[in-house]
Structure 1
Amino acid sequence: MNENYGEQIKTYRINLGMTQNQVAKELDVTPGYISNVENGRTAMSLRLLIYYSKLMGITLDELVGNIEPDYKKSSTDNALWSVIQTLDDEQKDKLIKTIKLWQS
Protein backbone atom coordinates (compact mmCIF):
# COMPACT_ATOMS: atom_id res chain seq x y z
CA MET A 1 0.00 0.00 0.00
CA ASN A 2 1.22 3.46 -0.87
CA GLU A 3 2.07 5.60 2.15
CA ASN A 4 -0.05 8.47 0.81
CA TYR A 5 -3.23 6.38 0.85
CA GLY A 6 -4.13 7.25 4.43
CA GLU A 7 -3.11 10.85 3.94
CA GLN A 8 -5.37 11.06 0.91
CA ILE A 9 -8.30 9.65 2.90
CA LYS A 10 -7.62 12.21 5.62
CA THR A 11 -7.29 15.09 3.17
CA TYR A 12 -10.71 14.42 1.65
CA ARG A 13 -12.26 14.23 5.12
CA ILE A 14 -10.68 17.48 6.26
CA ASN A 15 -11.56 19.28 3.02
CA LEU A 16 -15.22 18.48 3.67
CA GLY A 17 -14.90 19.69 7.26
CA MET A 18 -15.77 16.29 8.73
CA THR A 19 -14.37 14.77 11.89
CA GLN A 20 -13.21 11.19 12.21
CA ASN A 21 -16.25 10.59 14.42
CA GLN A 22 -18.63 11.85 11.72
CA VAL A 23 -17.02 9.70 9.03
CA ALA A 24 -17.00 6.68 11.33
CA LYS A 25 -20.70 7.11 12.05
CA GLU A 26 -21.56 7.40 8.35
CA LEU A 27 -19.53 4.28 7.50
CA ASP A 28 -20.71 2.36 10.57
CA VAL A 29 -17.17 1.85 11.87
CA THR A 30 -15.30 3.12 14.92
CA PRO A 31 -13.39 6.41 14.99
CA GLY A 32 -10.32 4.34 15.87
CA TYR A 33 -10.70 2.48 12.58
CA ILE A 34 -10.73 5.76 10.66
CA SER A 35 -7.67 6.90 12.58
CA ASN A 36 -5.88 3.65 11.74
CA VAL A 37 -6.70 4.07 8.04
CA GLU A 38 -5.53 7.69 8.00
CA ASN A 39 -2.29 6.74 9.75
CA GLY A 40 -1.61 3.84 7.38
CA ARG A 41 -2.03 1.12 10.00
CA THR A 42 -4.95 -0.56 8.24
CA ALA A 43 -6.54 -0.59 4.79
CA MET A 44 -10.17 -0.06 3.95
CA SER A 45 -12.03 -2.88 2.29
CA LEU A 46 -13.32 -2.26 -1.21
CA ARG A 47 -16.84 -1.95 0.19
CA LEU A 48 -15.77 0.77 2.62
CA LEU A 49 -13.74 2.55 -0.06
CA ILE A 50 -16.87 2.69 -2.22
CA TYR A 51 -18.97 4.05 0.67
CA TYR A 52 -16.22 6.52 1.57
CA SER A 53 -15.97 7.84 -1.99
CA LYS A 54 -19.75 8.31 -2.11
CA LEU A 55 -19.65 10.08 1.25
CA MET A 56 -16.92 12.40 -0.02
CA GLY A 57 -18.77 13.03 -3.30
CA ILE A 58 -15.98 11.66 -5.46
CA THR A 59 -15.50 8.63 -7.65
CA LEU A 60 -13.62 5.62 -6.46
CA ASP A 61 -11.12 6.33 -9.21
CA GLU A 62 -10.51 9.83 -7.83
CA LEU A 63 -9.97 8.36 -4.40
CA VAL A 64 -7.53 5.60 -5.26
CA GLY A 65 -6.68 6.11 -8.92
CA ASN A 66 -3.54 8.11 -8.33
CA ILE A 67 -2.06 5.94 -5.61
CA GLU A 68 0.09 3.98 -8.05
CA PRO A 69 1.68 5.98 -10.90
CA ASP A 70 1.21 3.10 -13.35
CA TYR A 71 -2.51 2.99 -12.60
CA LYS A 72 -3.06 6.56 -13.72
CA LYS A 73 -1.39 5.82 -17.04
CA SER A 74 -3.45 2.71 -17.61
CA SER A 75 -6.63 4.51 -16.49
CA THR A 76 -5.98 7.28 -19.02
CA ASP A 77 -5.25 4.74 -21.74
CA ASN A 78 -8.48 2.92 -20.97
CA ALA A 79 -10.50 6.14 -21.02
CA LEU A 80 -8.97 7.12 -24.37
CA TRP A 81 -9.65 3.67 -25.80
CA SER A 82 -13.29 3.88 -24.67
CA VAL A 83 -13.74 7.16 -26.52
CA ILE A 84 -11.97 5.90 -29.64
CA GLN A 85 -14.25 2.88 -29.81
CA THR A 86 -17.28 5.17 -30.15
CA LEU A 87 -15.86 6.99 -33.19
CA ASP A 88 -16.75 6.13 -36.76
CA ASP A 89 -14.00 5.58 -39.34
CA GLU A 90 -14.04 9.19 -40.55
CA GLN A 91 -13.67 10.50 -36.99
CA LYS A 92 -10.84 8.05 -36.33
CA ASP A 93 -9.01 9.32 -39.43
CA LYS A 94 -9.41 12.91 -38.21
CA LEU A 95 -8.12 11.90 -34.79
CA ILE A 96 -5.05 10.26 -36.30
CA LYS A 97 -4.32 13.40 -38.35
CA THR A 98 -4.74 15.59 -35.28
CA ILE A 99 -2.41 13.41 -33.20
CA LYS A 100 0.20 13.54 -35.95
CA LEU A 101 -0.01 17.34 -35.95
CA TRP A 102 0.58 17.39 -32.17
CA GLN A 103 3.61 15.16 -32.55
CA SER A 104 5.25 17.50 -35.08
Structure 2
Amino acid sequence: MLNESEKFDFRPIGLAIKEARVNQGLTREQVGSIIKIAPRYLTNIENQGQQPSLHVLYELVTLLNVSLDSFFLSKSNDKVKSTKRRQIDNILDNLTEEELYIVKDVLDAIFVNSKNNTNKNH
Protein backbone atom coordinates (compact mmCIF):
# COMPACT_ATOMS: atom_id res chain seq x y z
CA MET A 1 0.00 0.00 0.00
CA LEU A 2 1.26 3.48 -0.84
CA ASN A 3 1.36 6.04 1.92
CA GLU A 4 0.29 9.66 1.35
CA SER A 5 3.78 10.79 0.24
CA GLU A 6 3.96 7.98 -2.35
CA LYS A 7 0.64 8.78 -4.00
CA PHE A 8 0.44 7.94 -7.72
CA ASP A 9 1.10 10.98 -9.93
CA PHE A 10 -1.77 11.07 -12.41
CA ARG A 11 -0.53 14.17 -14.29
CA PRO A 12 1.28 12.26 -17.08
CA ILE A 13 -1.88 10.29 -17.80
CA GLY A 14 -3.92 13.49 -17.78
CA LEU A 15 -1.50 15.03 -20.28
CA ALA A 16 -1.73 11.94 -22.51
CA ILE A 17 -5.51 12.20 -22.43
CA LYS A 18 -5.33 15.88 -23.34
CA GLU A 19 -2.87 15.22 -26.19
CA ALA A 20 -5.07 12.46 -27.62
CA ARG A 21 -8.19 14.64 -27.34
CA VAL A 22 -6.51 17.58 -29.08
CA ASN A 23 -5.01 15.33 -31.78
CA GLN A 24 -8.50 14.00 -32.52
CA GLY A 25 -9.85 17.54 -32.79
CA LEU A 26 -12.25 17.15 -29.88
CA THR A 27 -13.11 19.87 -27.39
CA ARG A 28 -13.56 19.22 -23.69
CA GLU A 29 -17.22 20.00 -24.15
CA GLN A 30 -17.55 17.34 -26.86
CA VAL A 31 -15.77 14.69 -24.81
CA GLY A 32 -17.79 15.64 -21.74
CA SER A 33 -21.01 15.29 -23.70
CA ILE A 34 -20.00 11.90 -25.09
CA ILE A 35 -19.01 10.34 -21.76
CA LYS A 36 -21.38 12.36 -19.58
CA ILE A 37 -18.94 14.39 -17.47
CA ALA A 38 -18.55 18.12 -16.92
CA PRO A 39 -15.90 19.80 -19.11
CA ARG A 40 -14.42 21.32 -15.93
CA TYR A 41 -13.86 17.81 -14.54
CA LEU A 42 -11.97 16.92 -17.72
CA THR A 43 -9.93 20.12 -17.40
CA ASN A 44 -8.90 19.08 -13.89
CA ILE A 45 -7.97 15.58 -15.09
CA GLU A 46 -5.91 16.91 -17.99
CA ASN A 47 -4.21 19.88 -16.33
CA GLN A 48 -4.19 19.21 -12.59
CA GLY A 49 -3.72 15.46 -12.55
CA GLN A 50 -7.02 14.90 -10.77
CA GLN A 51 -7.62 11.17 -10.50
CA PRO A 52 -10.93 10.28 -12.14
CA SER A 53 -13.14 7.41 -11.15
CA LEU A 54 -12.25 4.11 -12.75
CA HIS A 55 -15.38 4.34 -14.89
CA VAL A 56 -14.45 7.81 -16.22
CA LEU A 57 -10.85 6.75 -16.82
CA TYR A 58 -12.08 3.74 -18.79
CA GLU A 59 -14.43 5.90 -20.86
CA LEU A 60 -11.68 8.43 -21.61
CA VAL A 61 -8.96 5.97 -22.63
CA THR A 62 -11.44 3.93 -24.69
CA LEU A 63 -12.84 6.97 -26.50
CA LEU A 64 -9.43 8.54 -27.11
CA ASN A 65 -7.55 5.29 -27.66
CA VAL A 66 -4.96 6.02 -24.97
CA SER A 67 -2.75 3.19 -23.72
CA LEU A 68 -2.17 3.09 -19.98
CA ASP A 69 0.38 0.26 -20.19
CA SER A 70 3.40 2.53 -20.32
CA PHE A 71 2.26 4.34 -17.17
CA PHE A 72 1.90 1.17 -15.12
CA LEU A 73 4.18 -1.44 -16.67
CA SER A 74 7.94 -1.54 -16.84
CA LYS A 75 9.52 0.27 -19.78
CA SER A 76 11.58 -2.83 -20.49
CA ASN A 77 8.46 -4.76 -21.47
CA ASP A 78 8.64 -4.93 -25.28
CA LYS A 79 4.95 -5.81 -25.54
CA VAL A 80 3.81 -2.45 -24.15
CA LYS A 81 2.12 -0.36 -26.85
CA SER A 82 2.41 3.39 -26.59
CA THR A 83 -0.60 5.62 -27.06
CA LYS A 84 0.67 6.75 -30.45
CA ARG A 85 1.13 3.12 -31.57
CA ARG A 86 -2.43 2.26 -30.43
CA GLN A 87 -3.82 5.27 -32.29
CA ILE A 88 -1.98 4.25 -35.47
CA ASP A 89 -3.22 0.67 -35.07
CA ASN A 90 -6.76 2.02 -34.81
CA ILE A 91 -6.34 4.01 -38.03
CA LEU A 92 -4.82 1.02 -39.82
CA ASP A 93 -7.74 -1.19 -38.75
CA ASN A 94 -10.07 1.09 -40.69
CA LEU A 95 -8.11 1.10 -43.98
CA THR A 96 -8.90 -0.96 -47.04
CA GLU A 97 -6.38 -3.50 -48.35
CA GLU A 98 -5.45 -1.08 -51.13
CA GLU A 99 -4.82 1.71 -48.63
CA LEU A 100 -2.72 -0.66 -46.52
CA TYR A 101 -0.47 -1.33 -49.53
CA ILE A 102 0.10 2.42 -49.84
CA VAL A 103 0.89 2.73 -46.12
CA LYS A 104 3.29 -0.21 -46.38
CA ASP A 105 5.11 1.45 -49.31
CA VAL A 106 5.40 4.69 -47.35
CA LEU A 107 6.76 2.86 -44.30
CA ASP A 108 9.26 0.98 -46.46
CA ALA A 109 10.45 4.30 -47.93
CA ILE A 110 10.79 5.82 -44.46
CA PHE A 111 12.78 2.80 -43.29
CA VAL A 112 15.13 2.90 -46.31
CA ASN A 113 15.61 6.66 -45.91
CA SER A 114 16.29 6.30 -42.19
CA LYS A 115 18.77 3.47 -42.81
CA ASN A 116 20.56 5.50 -45.51
CA ASN A 117 20.83 8.51 -43.19
CA THR A 118 22.20 6.33 -40.40
CA ASN A 119 24.84 4.87 -42.72
CA LYS A 120 25.87 8.36 -43.91
CA ASN A 121 26.36 9.57 -40.34
CA HIS A 122 28.71 6.69 -39.47
Number of residue equivalences: 72
Identify the residue that residue 24 of structure 1 maps to in structure 2: 32
Identify the residue that residue 42 of structure 1 maps to in structure 2: 50
- Runs of 5+ unmatched residues, structure 1: 78-104
Query: In 2, Cα distance between the equivalents of 1:69 and 1:2?
Result: 14
Q: Does 1:66 align with 2:70?
A: yes
Identity %: 26
RMSD of equivalent CA atoms? 2.3
* Alpha-carbon offset, residue 68 of structure 1: 4.0
Identify the residue that residue 76 of structure 1 maps to in structure 2: 79
* Alpha-carbon offset, residue 40 of structure 1: 2.4
Q: Does the C-alpha gap of structure 1 residues 3 and 41 become closer, same or farther in structure 2, counting only changes over 3 Å?
A: closer
Identify the residue that residue 4 of structure 1 maps to in structure 2: 12
Query: In 1, Cα distance between the equivalents of 2:11 and 2:61?
Result: 19
TM-score by length of 1: 0.57
- Runs of 5+ unmatched residues, structure 2: 1-8, 81-122
* Alpha-carbon offset, residue 53 of structure 1: 2.2
Identify the residue that residue 102 of structure 2 maps to in structure 1: none
Q: Would you identify which runs of 4 or more consecutive aligned residues in structure 1 move more than 3 Å?
A: 72-77
* Alpha-carbon offset, residue 33 of structure 1: 0.2
Query: In 2, Cα distance between the equivalents of 1:54 and 1:68?
Result: 17
Q: Does the C-alpha gap of structure 1 residues 74 and 45 become closer, same or farther in structure 2, counting only changes over 3 Å?
A: farther
Query: In 1, Cα distance between the equivalents of 2:35 and 2:21?
Result: 13
| Aligned residue identity for 1:76 | K
| Aligned residue identity for 2:79 | T
Q: Does the C-alpha gap of structure 1 residues 48 and 73 become closer, same or farther in structure 2, counting only changes over 3 Å?
A: farther
